[in-house]
Amino acid sequence: MKRVLAVDDTRSMLGMLVECLEDGGHTVFSANDGVEALSALSEHRPEIVITDLNMPNMTGLEFIEAARQRPEGQLVPMLLLTTETAQELKDEARRIHATGWLCKPFDPDQILGLVDQLT
Amino acid sequence: MDQDEDYKDLFFTECDELLAELQDHLTLMSSGEHGRDIVDATFRAVHSVKGGAAAFGLDALTGFAHRFEAVMDACRAGRLDVDDTTLPILFRASDMMQELVEHSRSDAPLRDDVLQQITRSLDGLVGMDPEPSAVVAADTTGQTPPAAGGEPIVVTFRPEPNFLASAHDPLRMLRGASRIGLMEVRVTGDLPPLEDLDPMVCPWTWHLTFALAEPSVLRDFFSIYDLSARIDGVPTADAPATLPLRTSQASEGPRVPTTGGGTGGGYVKSLRVPLDRIDRLVNLVGEIVITQAAVAQVLSQPRHGVEDTLAHSIEALSRQVREMQDSVMAIRAQPIKSAFSRMPRIVRDLSATLKREVRIEVSGEETEVDTSVIEELIEPLTHMIRNAMDHGIEPPDERLAAGKARDGLLRLTAQHRGERVLITLEDDGRGLNRDKIVDVALQRGLIPSADGLTAEDIDNLIFLPGFSTASEVSNVSGRGVGMDVVRRKIQALGGRCLIHSTPGQGTRFQVALPLTLAVLEGMIVEVGQERYVVPLSTVIEAVQLRDGNVERLHNGQILVARRGEYLPVYSLADLFGSREQTSARGEMAIVVDTETDGQIALFVDALIGQRQVVLKGLEENYRAIAGVSGATILGDGRVALILDIPSLIERRKLMFKHQSKHRQETA
Amino acid sequence: MSSNAAPLEEADTHHLTSPEGDDTCQFLSFVVDGRPYGVRIQDVREIRQWMRTTSLPNQPPHNLGVLNLRGSIVSIQDLRIRLGAPAPAPDDTNVIVIVQTDGRRVGLLVDAVSDILTLQRADIQPVPPNRGGGDERAMLTSIIMSGEVMVGIVDLDRVMDPGLSE
């Protein structure tokens, strides 16, 4: 059982992600944008983060970049879960040390597998 | 599956919100606001629809949203100007996206040709080649051809400098790999001299040999390292793979409309409710439970002097129940904005079609109304706007000639007025042409003569069924419906329509609607053995019928004198057209305002009282019945019908017309 | 996981509706004017004693009005009239069979409920043509033989059709 932070501004997406992770027996924290995610990161110390990319207030990329500057965020795997495929965005993700790039729609088994694989 | 369906319903609800936002943003842009925030928000709205649509395998929607998104992205990046060329396309795209959402949700018809056309327009804006599919393909790595059955696969894994900083851990990777068939590991690479050693850089390359590993499992496993390692040797997919969540639909052509899961028409509506309203309800339920426990306790005690305590508790209980009812209703209340926000759009479109220049000012959008009212309101509101633009507001030249501003002004407002919401649509056009209205009404046989008609009477003629016909109105107001349809719709909602026109200066339509359709303030009356509910808003007073104030004419008609005016008195049997005499002693009547036919009186045997009743439809298990707007369940469990007196009178008139026509023909 | 549950549930309901396999079906039989009639058991929701209804305006004579059935409003049809039988004013001895098809619920007034019949599918026969014309045949989907007795199976779609609106 892992502590997972799920971040998405779309309630249905977040709901599905949280449910998938909870079904996998994990403890899930959720946040609706990057700003919330940052405080959840400090508060709950998740072992892995799965975040949407396009969100209001603070995007997934901005969040990861900020999180990597913090001690509690340095060694936590952070996955972007997005429908974006643009190479510039991926390059940006690489630059800010995102752990991985996942395409929506996600496969629940794949997500659960990755949580095991990366933590 | 069921849970997926729940999320899908939720997704569709979100789509409604996102599309409404999209409309708002586009409208802002069209009024000249091109701020980065707005363009970003527009992009996000489209993007969120796309993300959800992809997750639920709604390929047609995903594909379209993808194109739309590409255009918004170009706007966001400044590669494309938001101007008079792009905006109309964006508006049309927004409509199309709505259509696709409806299509996915309830299999509503989809105009394929329009879809193609708008898609081409979008692609044209960003110079995109019309590529067949926009569904996101899985990232695959490596170029090695698919492994022949059972042969070992060697994957080369070369971490890049950011590998460790991206929170990857080589050990964890190896541990994971061993679970999917890792047989052998070989490490190559040199450790740099100590002074160059960066502890965050991983200098090695791993050569991993897998036996009996499924290529797809390997792909899934390694794709996550894509951002921070170079990986070779993973077999590619045979076909361009889409992610496997909904493979059944992914295999079809890109333009095959999906019905979204195959459940067909029915979907559960849902509503977004501020949390504090639910909290309030939960607290109230808590209070009620406590009060109920208190009552039970009092009753279990020896019975001396408990009445006071009991009365106190019961009083508390009734207050709490009343509050709970209010809270429950508040849950269904939504700002009227979702209906209003569509109107600027309609005005814009019609301006082009009708060659009018019209601005619309909207206010009071935050006014809250029951969600069911909002849904029902859109159609009559649209029609009122069409009517105002078609018949009210003049063409620009005519306006200038009349000394008015070139562009016409429509003002749409909503406000609470007691237990009703008052919606006003004002235009500054030419006003109603009363002479023409009288001509038309005479010509169509709607009135016998214009004698004695006040200006207000004449204005109200436009609400008569048959006043406007398809041949007379333009194709915009048209489709063969007139203001009678608006009025009927509003009346069906328990509302009323008022019109006020000043020649040369404009027309004001007012619609007063109840705040909810679920609960109705009613007067309960007894007629014979039955009890009926008459909407309180239409009841003016009760009158005692005495010899002094009642006239019985030889043709059977009964009139009652009320403040010097004679009103027709009907029995319910009359109105129901039933042979048996359901009513009554003829001693009492209630005066009801029908709006269309003025005030009438209805025989009743007794007034039981005013009460809030919960409205239940007859359609659910049976069918709608003319003259009965629904039913409710009374305290004793009996069903009472809710009378729609205006439509009963309307029916009766029609019946008479029919009979007299029949008589003429047979004579 | 939830996706596994759906087919199981389906199998279960199937099992309930035909306990002895695919070839049998069950009917609730009742009496109208001395003759037995029936409806498929899976269409029956409940059975209750006659109680006074609230009558609706402008309805055909077989519509007896509406009842409150635990908060939802259900119309009551006089099956005796629909089947062409004499229909004296209903009283406490009459019974209402609440049926539901296509999500719509209707009460059928009958004289008495008699039995639950389990039959082989093969025992179900079409209704022979009625050369006299008459309404009864139109209201039946089929007939079944239960022992020596012929039972007419009521066509709920026809009975529940409220007819043209005016």
Q: Which CATH number fits domain B153-240: 3.60.21, 3.90.1720, 1.20.120, 3.30.70?
A: 3.30.70
Sign of the Cα pseudo-torsion (B80, B83, B89, B91, in order): positive
Q: Would residue C133 be called left, alpha or beta, if left means φ above 0 and alpha means ψ between -120 and 50 degrees?
A: left
Question: Nearest CA to CA, how far is B612 from chain A (Å)?
Answer: 36
- B56, B64 in Cβ contact below 8 A? no
Largest CA distance in chain B: 121
- The C-alpha of C97 sits at a distance from chain B's nearest C-alpha, in angstroms, of 15
Q: What mean pLDDT do residues B583-610 have? A: 81
Specify the pLDDT at position C150.
87
Measured between CA atoms, the residue of chain B closest to residue C52 is: B638
The verdict on a CB contact (< 8 Å) between A104 and B47 is: no
Cis peptide bond N-terminal to A105, omega within 30: yes
Question: Length of chain C in residues, anyone?
Answer: 166
- Mean pLDDT for chain B? 77
Which of A21, A24, A15, A13 lies closest to A53, judged by CA?
A13
Contacts of residue B495, defined as CB under 8 A and 6 or more positions apart, other chains included, come to B420, B511, B512, B513, B514
- Residue ranges of alpha helices (H) inside chain C are 2-17, 79-82, 156-160
Give pLDDT, residue C130: 61
CB atoms B172 and A100 under 8 Å: no
Q: Is residue C3 part of a domain?
A: no
| B474-508 per-position pLDDT tens digit | 444 444 457 877 887 887 777 788 888 998 899 99
Q: What is the DSSP string of B156-215?
A: EEEE-TTTTTTT--HHHHHHHHHHTTEEEEEEE--PPPGGG--TT----EEEEEESS--H
Which pLDDT score, from 0 to 100, does residue B257 have? 34
Q: How far is CA B425 from CA B508, B575, B596, in A?
A: 6, 34, 20
- State the average pLDDT over residues B611-636: 80
**A75-91 CB burial, b ≥16 within 10 A, e <16:** ebbbbbbbbbeeeebbe
In this predicted structure, the answer to whether residue C74 has a pLDDT above a threshold of 80 is yes
Chain B CB within 8 Å of residue C77 CB: no
Q: Residue B13 pLDDT > 90, yes or no?
A: no
The CATH number, out of the four listed (3.50.50.60, 1.20.120.160, 3.20.20.70, 1.10.10.10), of the domain defined by the range B2-126: 1.20.120.160
B618 and C73 within 8 Å at the Cβ level: the answer is yes
Under CATH, which architecture does the B336-514 domain have? 2-Layer Sandwich (3.30)
From the CA of C130, how many Å to the nearest CA of chain B?
30
Packed helices B36-55 and B86-106: angle between N→C axes, nearest 10 degrees? 30
Q: Give Cβ neighbours of residue A74 (< 8 Å, ≥ 6 apart).
A: A68, B165, B167
* Percentage with pLDDT > 70 across chain B: 81
Backbone region of residue C65 per phi and psi (left: phi > 0; alpha: psi in -120 to 50; beta: other values): left
pLDDT band at B584 (very low <50, low <70, confident <90, very high): low
Place of tokens 């009639």: C37
B41, closest residue in chain A (CA to CA): A56
**Residue of chain B nearest C70, judged by CA positions:** B637
Q: Which residues of B156-190 are buried (b: 16+ CB within 10 A; e: fewer)?
A: bbbbbebbbbbbbbbeebeebbeebbbeeeeeeee
What SS3 class is residue B438?
helix
Domain ranges for chain A = 3-118
How far is C-alpha C78 from the geometric centre of its chain's CA atoms? 11
Report the residue from A19, A94, A105 with minimal CB separation from B55.
A105
**B112 Cβ contact partners less than 8 Å away, ≥ 6 residues apart:** B255, B257
What is the band of B249 on the pLDDT scale with cuts at 50, 70, 90? very low
Helical axes B2-30 vs A11-23, angle rounded to 10°: 150
Q: Taking 80 as the threshold, does the pLDDT of residue C23 lie above it?
A: no
- Could you give the number of structural domains in chain C? 1
pLDDT (0 to 100) of residue C38: 93
B639 touches chain C (CB under 8 A): yes
CB–CB of B633 and C6 under 8 A?
Answer: no
Per residue in B82-122, pLDDT tens?
888 888 888 889 989 988 998 888 888 888 888 888 888 88
What are the counts of helices (DSSP H) followed by strands (DSSP E) for chain A? 5, 5
> CA C144, CA A49: separation in Å to the nearest integer?
66
- For C129, other C-beta atoms within 10 Å of its C-beta total 7
DSSP sequence for B198-209: -TT----EEEEE
Confidence of residue C6 (pLDDT cuts 50, 70, 90): very low
Of B11-25, B458-472, C28-42, give the range with the top mean pLDDT: C28-42
B215 Cβ neighbours under 8 A, 6+ residues apart: B146, B147, B153, B234, B235, B236, B237
> Is B220 within 8 Å of chain A by CB?
yes
Going by C-alpha positions, the residue among B463, B470, B521, B469 that lies closest to residue B490 is B463
pLDDT in tens, B564-575: 888 999 888 778
Cβ proximity of C114 and C36 under 8 Å: yes
**Residues of chain C found within 8 Å of residue B631, distances taken between Cβ atoms:** 54, 66, 73
**Looking at the domain assignment, is residue C10 inside a domain?**
no
Determine the residue among B570, B625, B634 to mutate to test chain C binding: the one whose Cβ has the most chain C Cβ atoms within 10 Å: B625
Identify which has the larger pLDDT, B59 or B427: B427
CB A13 within 8 A of CB B10: no
Q: Do B54 and A77 touch (CB under 8 A)?
A: no
Q: Does domain A3-118 have CATH number 3.40.630.190?
A: no
Looking at 3.40.50.2300, 3.30.1490.190, 2.40.50.180, 1.10.490.20, the CATH number of the domain B519-666 comes to 2.40.50.180
Q: Where are the domains of chain B?
A: 2-126, 153-240, 277-334, 336-514, 519-666
**What's the length of chain A?**
119
Contact between B227 and A79 using a beta-carbon 8 Å cutoff: no
**pLDDT tens track for B183-193:** 777 777 766 66
Q: Measured between alpha carbons, how far is B511 from B494 in angstroms, rounded to an integer?
A: 11
Q: Is A58 on the interface with B (CB under 8 A)?
A: no
**Span B527-545, mean pLDDT?**
86
Q: Kindly identify which residue of chain C lies nearest to residue B574, measuring between CA atoms.
A: C57
- Is residue C25 a part of any domain in this protein? yes
- As a whole number of angstroms, the distance between CA B660 and CA B592 comes to 26
- Residue A105 is nearest to which of B139, B226, B245, comparing CB atoms? B245
Q: Provide the chain B residues 88-107 that lie in CB contact (below 8 A) with chain C.
A: none
Q: Do B625 and C3 touch (CB under 8 A)?
A: no
Tokens 């991983």 belong to residue: B202
Hey, is the C-beta of C68 within 8 angstroms of any chain B C-beta? yes
- Distance (Å, rounded) from C-alpha B557 to C-alpha B542? 19
Q: Mean pLDDT over residues C17-38, rounded?
A: 78
B154/B169 Cα distance (integer angstroms): 20
B576 interface with A at CB cutoff 8 Å: no
Which structure tokens are listed for B321?
């129940």
Phi, psi for B143 (deg, rounded to 5): -125, 0
Of B3, B625, B638, the CB nearest to C57: B625
C partners (3+ CB pairs within 8 A) are B
Question: B573: distance to nearest CA of chain C, Å?
Answer: 9
The CA distance from B630 to B617, in Å, is 5
Q: Is B157 left (phi over 0), alpha (psi -120 to 50) or beta?
A: beta
In this prediction, residue B645 has a pLDDT band, given cuts at 50, 70 and 90, of confident
Rounded average pLDDT over C136-165: 78
> What is the DSSP annotation of A81-98?
EES---HHHHHHHHHTT-
Residue type for C49, please? Q
Yes or no, beta carbons of B622 and C66 under 8 Å apart: yes
The per-residue pLDDT for B468 is 67
Q: What is the mean pLDDT of residues B203-218?
A: 78
Comparing alpha-carbon positions, the chain A residue that sits nearest to B226 is A100
Instruction: Using alpha carbons, select from C148, C58, C29, C93 the residue that is nearest to residue B575.
Output: C58
Q: Quick one: pLDDT at residue B423? A: 93
Residues 6 or more apart whose Cβ sits within 8 Å of residue B94: B19, B22, B23, B26
Cα gap A77→A115, rounded to integer Å: 9
- How far is it, in rounded angstroms, from Cα B305 to Cα B312? 12
pLDDT digits (tens, 9 = 90+) for C92-147: 889 999 998 877 889 999 999 988 888 887 788 887 776 555 555 568 888 888 87
Judging contacts by C-beta atoms under 8 Å, the chain A residues touching residue B51 are 10, 13, 52, 54, 82-83, 104
Burial pattern A95-111, b for ≥16 Cβ within 10 A else e, equals ebbbbbbbbbbbbbebb
A13 contact residues in B (CB cutoff 8 A): 51-52, 55
| Tokens describing residue B398 | 């005519």
Cα–Cα distance between B438 and B455 in angstroms, integer? 10
B209 beta partners: B154, B184
Greater pLDDT, C72 or B304: C72
Any A CB within 8 A of B70 CB: no
- Residue C65 CB-density burial (10 A; 0-12 exposed, 13-18 middle, 19+ buried): middle
Q: How far is residue C163's CA from residue B168's CA, in Å, rounded to a whole number?
A: 71
Of B57, B176, B243, nearest to A103 by CB-CB distance is B243
User: How far is it, in rounded angstroms, from Cα B567 to Cα B557?
Assistant: 10
The answer to whether residue B241 scores a pLDDT higher than 70 is: no
As given in the structure block, the two tokens for residue B391 are: 């018949």
Choose the weakest-confidence range: B145-159, B170-184, B303-317, B492-506.
Answer: B145-159
Express each pLDDT in B411-452 by its tens digit: 999 988 776 789 999 999 998 888 888 888 888 888 888 888
- Rounded Cα distance between C156 and C142, Å, is 12
CATH number for the domain that contains residue C98: 2.40.50.180
Cβ count within 10 A of residue B41: 17
- The residue type at B78: G
CB B400 within 8 A of CB B487: no
User: Which has more pLDDT, B385 or B247?
Assistant: B385
CA distance B639 to B625: 15
**CB-based burial of residue B220 (10 Å sphere; 0-12 exposed, 13-18 middle, 19+ buried)?**
buried
Question: Sign of the CA dihedral B311, B312, B313, B316?
Answer: positive
Instruction: Yes or no: say if B643 and B532 are a contact pair by the CB < 8 Å rule.
Output: yes
In this prediction, residue B131 carries a pLDDT of: 45
